[in-house]
Structure 1
Amino acid sequence: MSLLPRTAEEFSSADYWERFFRKRGEKAFEWYGDYNSLCGVLHKYIKPRDKVLVVGCGNSELSEQLYDVGYHQLTNIDISETVVSHMNQRNAERRPDLTFQQLDATQTGFDSGSFQAALDKGTLDAMASEEDGELAGRMLAEVGRVLAVGGRYVCVTLAQEHVIKLAVEHFARGWAVRIHCLSAQQTAESDASFALPVFVLVCTKFRQAPPFAVLELCQGEDGAPARLASVPELLSAVKERQAYNLTLHKLRGATDASSTPSLTLCHAATGRPRYTLTVQDSLPSAKLPRSNHFAIFIVPQGRESDWLYGSAEGRTQLASSAKFRRLVIVAMHRDQEYEDMQAVQLELSPLVMELAPPGMPANQQVPFLSVGGDLGWREVIGRGVSALTGQYSVEDVRGEDGHLYRRLIFMNNCQLVQSESRLRSAVTASAHKKKNKKKSKPSVTEAPALTGVKDRIVDKGFLCCTHHEVMVAGLAMLGMDAVNNKDQPVSVLLVGLGGGGLPQFVHDFVPHARVEVVELDPAVLEVAQTWFGFQTNERLKVTLGDGLEHIKTLESEGGNAFDVVMFDVDSKDTTLGMSCPPPAFVETPLLKKVYSLLTPRGLFMLNLVCRDSALRKSVLERVGAVFPCVFSRGIEGEVNEVLLCCRGSGEGHKPHTIPQTLQQTAKDLQKTLRANTQTPPCVPQIDIAAMLSDLKVV
């Protein structure tokens, strides 16, 4: 709008405001809302008997409306002679005691301690330059001087970062600071709403500075104050509210199925995250029932990392099957207590309506959807901090199939399951072992009940990750002579330990196999041993260190040969289009070193997770340039694919078809794994033939 200043410096210019009010004339200008939208919080902190200094009054009707409801000790000041003259003339007859004076807010000339309140609506925002806060600082100092002990500076502001930081840091020393976050207000200038909320900063002057900072944030005019420990925490909380309202503003516009904004709702008393809401819109071309505007889907506890809820592709599929214009997918946070489904719905109902799609009828019923109708179950059984990855959580959850699972979650990416194992009941397993003491083929145990954590043990025969199953199945490509050779047992080098399920499975069920694991993070090894049943011995060893450097060292030493080298390591750089492995693991020089470490019959297995098609093509070209025979096995419903790379093609050229003998070898390997069961009633639960049925030649 042409009436608004173009630069921050103009806001603090007397000449600018002279031009502004001359051009505007009689029409009142209401920054950030009028009396009706602000009266609740203003009456809370300013009493009718108070002597009030209105700083930078402009031609707002706020002072007049306050006067009309009993506030008769208002002193209004403004730097503009034009607006002061106009406001005095406008109120001379109807409000003779309402005074307007042309004064500089940085040096008013009033006696110290002569006011009980100072009211500022937009003036601080106007004076605070992003480049230089000196002028605004002088105004705040003057306000502090003229206020009496117990007096309050009440500032209506948009809380731009440089503005609110200046004010809070100024008053945090010796004053109580409270900020109210109001809803985005309707301006008098247009029919559009502010994208950002309006805040009311209330600073109370103490006679003596308290021994600690008093910093509080309230939602709405009557919200309970949440205490913040430091100025940065308070500023961060303000920023979160602004981001939330900006998202709401965007969601009230046109829908976009490719955009899935997420919002975090926090517990009012503690400020800790309680719900994460992801908004998923249907494609414009989708055929939907006319009345299906909006629905809320509550994800069961412990299931938020499932592909259907934790990935963009899964959420798109979920929204498509639900058949609503907009689906809000709600995940509950760990370390929060939830009574039941009805209580969750009651808690969310007044909040989620803000996320309704544009054009939804006002009286439209909004259904809550769920799986099974209950909240699910999750128990956090361990926590810790990794020096490399930060905080982590080990938790037991109930899966969709009714079984219990144990998961390792790194909190910097809590939507991703780092490692997972299925659990068995230790009590049932022990009883089953006695019952089947003389039997050679124990049966699979049933899903455990919700017993204590000590009664749950990891089922080492079950691999939760399909790509782990493919890697195990890939051993069939070595041939059964190699797998069953006691004199030259299969040797495996695995980079990336996780919970240890893959190396433990190979150790337990592949005859005489020798496995060396390289893991960068000592905390991961500790978690694997403490919570996932991982056990090292002379055939299963772990080297702590950088996998890249370890491979380089082994290659330079010479004399090291492995039948299988596996890469199952994720990238910490989320900006890349490839989350597994890190790019350095698929550079040509390293691939050549891997090739040289393999025996003539050797295999290189790579878990590849790449959403960037051009990057994936580049990786496949590099791998194919080093290994003469490369197969790919995609993972249904996931981005993962496993590359099975042979050191030799066996025929001196790149194959065009899958070997006919592979399916028979797969059946033989299946028998061998089952025959090698050593810890009843733990049985390898993997279909080797199925894992190799969808191989494609790269």
Structure 2
Amino acid sequence: MSLLPRTAEEFSSAEYWEKFFKKRGEKAFEWYGDYNKLCGVLHKYIKVQDKVLVVGCGNSELSEQMYDVGYKHLTNIDISETVVNNMNQRNAERRPGLTFHQVDATKTPYEDACYQAALDKGTLDAMASEEEGALARNMLTEVGRVLSVGGRYVCVTLAQESVIKLAVEHFVQLGWAVRLHCLQEENRTEEDSFALPVFVLVCTKFRQPMPTPILEMCLGEDGASVRHTHVSELLSAVREHQAYSVLRKRLRMNTDANSNLSLTLCHAKTGLPRYTLTIQDSPPGAKVPRANQFAIFIVPQGSETAWLYSSGEGRRQLAASANFRRLVIVSMHRNQEYTDMQAVQSELSPVVMDLAPPGMPANHQVPFLSVGGDLGWREEVSRGVSQLSGEYCVENVKGEDGELYRRLVFLSNAALVQSESHLVSSNTATSQKKKNKRKAKASAAPVASSTSLTVDSGFLCCAHHEVMVACLAMLGVGMPQNKDIPVSVLLVGLGGGGLPQFLRDFMPNVTIEVVELDPVVLEVAKQWFGFQPDDRLTVTLGDGLERICALEKEGGHLFDAIMFDVDNKDSTLGMSCPPAAFVETPILQKVCNLLTPRGLFILNLACRDPALRKSVLERVSGVFPTILSRKIEEEINEVLLCTRGEKETSDATHILPSLNQAAKNLQSALCSSGTEPSRRPHIDIAELLKDLRIV
């Protein structure tokens, strides 16, 4: 029969503990470790001559062992009559000075300031679940009353967030100093041991309350203390240590190639995220050389969002090519400084052995792998806050191809690049020859200053943007008979403005209206991505759905192409583009009504949920008879090209000849746009359209 409580509330029940100790008998029950594990930190804060109140002593041997090493002034209290009687009987002869009393820790009979220390091993954790912590607060108030100035409350706890938050906030309000020790266990292999680390909370009483909270965290019993400014920072550090301990326990056992375990390590002084470690194991049965047990791969700065490093399938491919039994993939965080590869290796070396696969020899040399042997390069050029999307940053990065790129990233989803543009030196815009020479020397040359860089509007960094442009070939753009026919486009979603700028700069006779919800995004696009509206490229600030409804209601507005390229802020759904409301049947019908007879609806769809994707396709096909899909290699995105024509009954092969000719016409139109050769678009229309398939 299990002796663990069925619910957390039972921990604070006197009836539960009475029953617990009657069933357990005299066998000691050691919550969170015994004296040997705790003695180092206990001796640090509790002097042998101190009068100590042991709160909720249970039948632990801790008090007995402390008594044996010289602590003769221990007062042990517990709510259970059974345990008190048993402990008194057990110690009557060998330890006559060690007594146990049946006392409620929330209402003790002791005088004010009569103890120099209060020791609690698991009692706070047991009581904090009752009545939203009221019982625990009463106990902590009583502890504060009986402790003298300079006295310490020493609590051994698992530091579950609700528990540790309650205790820390209680003593901070009283003006006490608060310190936490995280006791990481070495070489722990017991299957039934706690996955969470044990913490020791030490709260010190001052004569005058401290005006500024003293909040400290230490690793181990003797680790250097790290000062935190706010309770939330201390709690964040606790969560980090807990996550690390849980990960260590899981990694002691074999994981599978799909487990996708990850951990974020924070800077010891600032508490800010510094590294994210993702563990990728080789699949069962993989032929891995015996020497290739374990390796660390450092992702270059600025490449964290690349498919190879950010997706599960990409990381599996990376691990397969490295061919190690376990590969730890390390990403570096923004707003952190990294000196060089050697410094990063030195910083990570003490940590990574905890993540080694089971059975690996302790003296095994762990190689550090990288691309090109350096850390990459990243420069933040702007940071701000959007009321709609939160904090954002604009950064320049050096790609693995040696080229420079500018990105817009919303920090609420830092793994996703919201917009990206290719950067070139201002001087190269007038000299293609010099550009080629610099490109050959990119890896050796210093990175150009931000002020000397401009956005290359002829380069679309997003593959789905290239496909969306290529789809416009279906309109017959570039055909001789259509050279004077205007093309009108409605685009929902601006981002950095790369897509609409490309259309304006390189497609003949095109006019674009962009609808953007966030005014901050528009300002960022103008300031950092070279976005320049004019009479052919206008921006309407507002909700895209409302704009579509208003245009249909007004009448007289028809578009040759309507494009949806808008991200979904709700990360709980399996669809990151577009928001669900954009693919509801009533909106899709309004979109159809706003198209000219030859009009196209082009949708950037990013959906991880197969059932949700099927539902979206059913709704779209209910409005648009013909849907062609072009999936983006190594991404979840696919571009849907929807027309009002009759539904095709087979694959797209029989229409490819005409589509190929249309692609050639559009390619010719783009390349003869009147721009300088160095700024002509880097896009292959025919190649982008060849994998179109009927849905």
- The 5 Å alignment of 1:1-40 reads 2-14=2-14, 16-40=16-40
- Whether 2:178 is the aligned partner of 1:177: answer yes
1:280 maps to which residue?
280
| TM-score, scaled relative to structure 2 | 0.92
Question: How many angstroms apart in 2 are the aligned matches of 1:543 and 1:388?
Answer: 17
- Whether 2:519 is the aligned partner of 1:522: answer yes
2:471 maps to which residue?
474
Question: How many angstroms apart in 2 are the aligned matches of 1:86 and 1:128?
Answer: 26
Partner SS for 1:406: strand
CA distance 1:138–1:669, change in 2 (3 Å)? closer
1:642 maps to which residue?
639
2:623 maps to which residue?
626
- Whether 2:338 is the aligned partner of 1:341: answer no
Question: How many angstroms apart in 2 are the aligned matches of 1:592 and 1:533?
Answer: 35
CA distance 1:131–1:160, change in 2 (3 Å)? farther
Q: CA deviation at 1:383?
A: 0.7
Partner SS for 2:384: strand
CA distance 1:60–1:317, change in 2 (3 Å)? same
- Whether 2:150 is the aligned partner of 1:150: answer yes
Q: CA deviation at 1:24?
A: 3.5
Q: Which residue type is aligned with residue 149 of structure 1?
A: V
Partner SS for 1:249: helix
| TM-score, scaled relative to structure 1 | 0.92
2:581 maps to which residue?
584
Question: How many angstroms apart in 1 are the aligned matches of 2:267 and 2:482?
Answer: 60
Question: How many angstroms apart in 1 are the aligned matches of 2:480 and 2:47?
Answer: 86
2:365 maps to which residue?
365
Q: Which deviates further from its counterpart, 10-19 or 595-604?
A: 10-19
Q: Is the 8 A contact 2:569 2:576 kept in 1?
A: yes
Q: Which deviates further from its counterpart, 260-269 or 275-284?
A: 275-284
Q: CA deviation at 1:9?
A: 5.0
Q: CA deviation at 1:265?
A: 0.5
- The 5 Å alignment of 1:511-660 reads 511-648=508-645, 657-660=654-657
- Size of the alignment, in residue pairs? 690
Q: CA deviation at 1:15?
A: 5.1
Q: Is the 8 A contact 2:627 2:642 kept in 1?
A: yes
Question: How many angstroms apart in 1 are the aligned matches of 2:293 and 2:133?
Answer: 48
Partner SS for 1:498: coil
Partner SS for 2:407: strand
Partner SS for 1:676: coil
Q: CA deviation at 1:89?
A: 5.1
Partner SS for 2:54: strand
CA distance 1:166–1:628, change in 2 (3 Å)? closer
Q: Is the 8 A contact 1:196 1:242 kept in 2?
A: yes
Q: Is the 8 A contact 1:565 1:598 kept in 2?
A: yes
Q: Which residue type is aligned with residue 550 of structure 1?
A: R
2:506 maps to which residue?
509
Partner SS for 2:177: strand
CA distance 1:295–1:543, change in 2 (3 Å)? same
- Whether 2:461 is the aligned partner of 1:464: answer yes
Q: Which residue type is aligned with residue 120 of structure 1?
A: D
2:57 maps to which residue?
57
Q: CA deviation at 1:593?
A: 1.9
Q: Which deviates further from its counterpart, 106-115 or 86-95?
A: 86-95
Q: Is the 8 A contact 1:226 1:271 kept in 2?
A: no
- The 5 Å alignment of 1:342-421 reads 342-421=342-421
Q: CA deviation at 1:162?
A: 3.8
Question: How many angstroms apart in 2 are the aligned matches of 1:484 and 1:542?
Answer: 30
Q: Is the 8 A contact 1:54 1:120 kept in 2?
A: yes
Question: How many angstroms apart in 2 are the aligned matches of 1:584 and 1:18?
Answer: 57
Partner SS for 2:613: helix
Q: CA deviation at 1:659?
A: 3.7
CA distance 1:36–1:697, change in 2 (3 Å)? same
2:452 maps to which residue?
455
CA deviation string 1:516-572 (max 9, x = no partner): 111111111111111111101111111111111111111121111222211111111
CA distance 1:85–1:398, change in 2 (3 Å)? same
CA deviation string 1:348-397 (max 9, x = no partner): 12222222233334343332221111111111111111111101111111
1:439 maps to which residue?
none
Q: CA deviation at 1:92?
A: 5.2
Question: How many angstroms apart in 2 are the aligned matches of 1:514 and 1:191?
Answer: 67
Q: CA deviation at 1:83?
A: 4.1
Q: Is the 8 A contact 1:130 1:162 kept in 2?
A: no
Question: How many angstroms apart in 2 are the aligned matches of 1:560 and 1:367?
Answer: 62
Question: How many angstroms apart in 2 are the aligned matches of 1:196 and 1:475?
Answer: 56
- The 5 Å alignment of 1:110-129 reads 110-129=110-129
Q: CA deviation at 1:340?
A: 1.2
Question: How many angstroms apart in 2 are the aligned matches of 1:676 and 1:284?
Answer: 55
Structure 1 unpaired stretches of 5+: 437-441
CA distance 1:484–1:339, change in 2 (3 Å)? farther
Q: CA deviation at 1:651?
A: 9.8
Give the aligned CA root-mean-square deviation in angstroms.
Answer: 2.9
Partner SS for 2:329: strand
Q: Is the 8 A contact 2:178 2:216 kept in 1?
A: yes
CA distance 1:671–1:171, change in 2 (3 Å)? same
Question: How many angstroms apart in 1 are the aligned matches of 2:267 and 2:98?
Answer: 44
Question: How many angstroms apart in 2 are the aligned matches of 1:252 and 1:516?
Answer: 57
Q: Which deviates further from its counterpart, 540-549 or 474-483?
A: 474-483
Q: Is the 8 A contact 2:650 2:694 kept in 1?
A: no
Question: How many angstroms apart in 2 are the aligned matches of 1:128 and 1:186?
Answer: 31
Aligned-pair identity in percent equals: 70
- Whether 2:693 is the aligned partner of 1:692: answer no
- The 5 Å alignment of 1:127-276 reads 127-131=127-131, 133-174=133-174, 175-183=176-184, 192-276=192-276
Q: CA deviation at 1:615?
A: 2.5
CA deviation string 1:322-361 (max 9, x = no partner): 2223222110001101111121112112222222233334
Q: Is the 8 A contact 1:634 1:640 kept in 2?
A: yes
Question: How many angstroms apart in 1 are the aligned matches of 2:29 and 2:238?
Answer: 26
Partner SS for 1:459: strand
CA deviation string 1:173-205 (max 9, x = no partner): 2212222222259999x7522011111111111
Q: CA deviation at 1:206?
A: 1.2
Partner SS for 1:502: helix
Q: Is the 8 A contact 1:482 1:489 kept in 2?
A: no
Q: Which deviates further from its counterpart, 165-174 or 459-468?
A: 165-174
CA distance 1:129–1:459, change in 2 (3 Å)? closer
Q: Is the 8 A contact 1:649 1:655 kept in 2?
A: no
CA deviation string 1:446-494 (max 9, x = no partner): 4875111001111111111111111222222111466885643221111
Q: Is the 8 A contact 1:629 1:654 kept in 2?
A: no
Partner SS for 1:315: helix
Partner SS for 1:673: helix
Q: Is the 8 A contact 2:240 2:264 kept in 1?
A: no
Question: How many angstroms apart in 2 are the aligned matches of 1:208 and 1:379?
Answer: 47
Q: CA deviation at 1:498?
A: 1.0
Question: How many angstroms apart in 1 are the aligned matches of 2:253 and 2:318?
Answer: 23
Q: Is the 8 A contact 1:264 1:276 kept in 2?
A: yes
Q: CA deviation at 1:122?
A: 1.6
Partner SS for 1:552: helix
CA distance 1:185–1:14, change in 2 (3 Å)? farther
CA distance 1:100–1:187, change in 2 (3 Å)? farther
Question: How many angstroms apart in 1 are the aligned matches of 2:292 and 2:29?
Answer: 42
